[in-house]
Amino acid sequence: MKLKKILIGALILALAAASSYFLYFKNKTKATSSAPVLTALVERGSITESIKGSGTIQPYRLMELNPRGNGTVERVYVKAGDKVKAGDPLLLLGNRSTDLALQKAEINLAEQQKNLEKALSNLEKAEIKSPDRGIVTEITVKKGDEISKGTTVAKLRLNPGKTLVKAPFNAAQIKDIKVGDKADVLFLDSLFNKEGVVTEISEKGKLQSTGAIYYYATVEIDGDYYVEGSETLVDVTVHTANGVQKAVEMVSLEAPEEIEIKSEASGTVASIHVKENSLVNAGAKLISLDSDELKETVESAKRSLELAKLDLEEKQLAKSELLYTAPFDGTVVEVNVSEGEELVQSGSQSSSEPLIILADYSKMKVVISVDELDAVKIKEGMPVKITSDAFPSKEWSGTVEHVAEIGTSSNEVSTFDVTVVTGPIEELKAGMTVTAEIIIQSKEDALILPANAIREANGKTFVILAGSESENQGESRRQNMREVKLGIKTSDYVEILEGLSEGDTVIIPTSANSTQTNRQNLRNPGMFMGPGGGPPAGRSGR
């Protein structure tokens, strides 16, 4: 009897437990079935990945003109608002000390140039050359000799192959004789006649012992007829325009003129370039001297000349810095100096206001700061949209000009400055805040889907196709999962490259849906769709 009561009690408890479980399961199923299901449609449209940042709009270039030295303001060429071209004068200072220093430098340069020319001329004299055409009759030095300036180094006989005769004429005759007249020279010992030409006529007469005054005409004949130590008598007749004039006396042949060639420099005989009895022309090199002193003088003169050039360049630079010119085309923003004002540069000068401020408004620029993950996406030349809260309906175009190579680190995050350049913007004033949206990539007529419809698993991306709902919703959704390939990603939308077609409907999991889906995925880890059913971890485009 006691056992029967125990069995009846156990049966009653089992029935109660079964009833409770049935009611709980029924209510749970009802709650799950009543959870809303969000869906999204795969559509065609435009998608753009961009990065935004804000900064202040500034002129493309801004120059503050500060004093470069001391002086008096002689001329101010511009006023605020003036347009200037690169190279236009802005301001002129006067400085007497600078002017005097420049004049001294110019004079010194001229002197050093002369010194070098003189040194080179002296060095050139170490090359001893023939002053005229002739025959070298004697070399008076030998290689290795140390000689001083003025030493005779060779003898030269002039006019080789020619013989001269100086024939006397009286005053009446000499009037008819001209240079270039033909002449006959008769050798009295052999009665040999040789034709010659008058090359010179003396202007003054020479008094003779008889009291007569003779004038001499020099006649040149071809050939070497003079014999050393022998007297050869000749008779000369000149054919003039007014007839024949015969010399008043017979004369002897003139000995050839011989000159001594002297060194114009000191040094060691390094080379002898000719031999005795050699025929040389005017300018022919005869002897070379080696002179360390002359070489050092030339080198010293060259160094002095270079120093003089550098000094002049320095003084010219100092002078040029008194004239301030525009470094680029632009607009004068401020002029803070007046003519007659004395400018004195000091250590605190950098803290004073600039003399002139010049801005280039032909282009504008804005610098924005982006984090390191975005910086690597940005390239020079990328298009940029510029907007301003002051003009909400306007938009301006720009391009990325530069991405900083070195970032700034703060709180273990590095940021990089990006310089964006636009055309002139008349509506905006320098210093106004603008937003720059850098277009990383953009596509028209793309298949797009809300980003929160995408799930990730094992490095792949999936969506849940919307379909008939069964009692086991997790099982149904797992069967409707579709792998997709993504293109452009933004925070709101993604581009579908493969896996879906236009018009397809996919489920956007809610919290309830995500919870049940995760329960199903716990039984099938290969279909895991992200922690908590939320968006996959990682960073999407802005």
CB 435 within 8 A of CB 386: yes
CA 441/CA 401 separation, integer angstroms: 17
453: how many CB neighbours lie within 10 A of its CB? Answer: 24
Q: Which helix (H) or strand (E) holds 83?
A: strand 83-84
C-alpha distances (whole Å) from 515 to each of 161, 531, 532 are 129, 10, 7
CA 403/CA 377 separation, integer angstroms: 10
Q: Are strands 258-262 and 323-325 parallel, antiparallel or unpaired?
A: unpaired
DSSP label at residue 209: T
Rounded to 5, what percent of the chain is helix, strand, coil? Answer: 25, 45, 35
**pLDDT for 208-255, tens place per residue?**
988 899 999 999 999 999 988 888 999 999 999 999 999 999 999 999
C-alpha distances (whole Å) from 291 to each of 11, 116, 126 are 137, 16, 7
- Residue 535 has what pLDDT? 34
Packing angle, helices 96-124 and 292-320, rounded to 10: 160
- Residue 468 has what pLDDT? 46
CB 528 within 8 A of CB 537: no
Return the bridge partners of 50, or none.
439
240: how many CB neighbours lie within 10 A of its CB? Answer: 16
Q: Which residue has the tokens 């493309």?
A: 60
Closest among 149, 110, 113, 120 to 297, alpha carbons compared: 120
CA 483/CA 466 separation, integer angstroms: 14
Closest among 198, 180, 176, 196 to 245, alpha carbons compared: 176
- Residue 180 has what pLDDT? 96
Q: Which amino acid is at 308?
A: A
Provide the whole-model pTM. 0.53
- Overall size of the chain counted in residues: 542
Looking at 133-210, list the stretches that DSSP marks H as alpha helix, in order from N- to C-terminal side: 171-174
- Residue 479 has what pLDDT? 67
Q: Which helix (H) or strand (E) holds 205?
A: none
What DSSP assignment string belongs to 439-492? EEEEEEEEEEEEGGG-EEETTEEEEEE-----SSHHHHHHHTEEEEEEEEE-SS
Q: Which amino acid is at 481?
A: M
Q: Which residue has the tokens 């071209």?
A: 85
95: which 2 tokens? 């400085």
Residues of the chain with pLDDT under 50: 1-33, 348-351, 468-472, 512-542
CA 533/CA 530 separation, integer angstroms: 5
Does residue 515 come out as left (phi exceeding 0), alpha (psi in the -120 to 50 range) or beta?
A: alpha
CA 97/CA 295 separation, integer angstroms: 37
Looking at 77-232, list the stretches that DSSP marks H as alpha helix, in order from N- to C-terminal side: 96-124, 171-174
Q: Which long-range contacts (CB under 8 A, 24 or more apart) does 171-174 make?
A: 171/205, 171/213, 171/215, 173/215, 173/245, 173/248, 174/201, 174/215, 174/217
- Residue 474 has what pLDDT? 54
**pLDDT for 146-194, tens place per residue?**
999 999 999 999 989 899 999 999 999 999 999 999 999 999 999 999 9
102: which 2 tokens? 């420049």
CA 416/CA 374 separation, integer angstroms: 9
- Residue 462 has what pLDDT? 93
CA 439/CA 397 separation, integer angstroms: 11
- Residue 413 has what pLDDT? 87
* Cα dihedral 87, 88, 92, 96 sign: positive
Q: In three state form, how does the secondary structure of 22-81 look?
A: HHHHHHHHHHHHHCCCEEEECEEEEEEEEEEEEEEEEEEEEEEECCCCCEEEEEECCCCC
For 360, phi then psi, to 5°, come to -105, 105
CB 378 within 8 A of CB 370: yes
195: which 2 tokens? 């034709």
